[in-house]
Amino acid sequence: MLDAQGQTVADALRRMNYRGVSDVRQGKYFMLTLDASIEENDATATEAAAKAEVDRIAREVLVNPVIEEYTFRLEA
């Protein structure tokens, strides 16, 4: 998808002689705070459950897959 705002920023950076940037993407982000309802003794299983839940939320609610992509990260 064309990212007009990102392209405008990239063009401005080139005009200002910034040479190390090959692409600029403008977007939005969401910060989700998960509660402790995903409780398991195994930290790996808990992290996997949290990743699965965030991925499901992104796919089903937050992202329009026709024009958007997403990535996410978990922080403690």
b/e burial code for range 33-64 (CB count within 10 A of at least 16 → b): eeeeeeeeeeeeeeeebeeeebeeebeeeeee
Q: Is the pTM value of this prediction over 0.75?
A: no
Q: Give the tens place of pLDDT for each residue, 5-57.
A: 999 999 999 999 998 888 998 888 899 988 766 555 567 778 898 999 999 99
Mapping DSSP to helix (H, G, I), strand (E, B) and coil, where does residue 48 land?
Answer: helix
User: Is the pLDDT reported for residue 69 higher than 70?
Assistant: yes
The pLDDT assigned to 3 comes to 87
* pLDDT above 90 for 67: no
Sequence length of the chain is 76
pLDDT score recorded for residue 39: 56
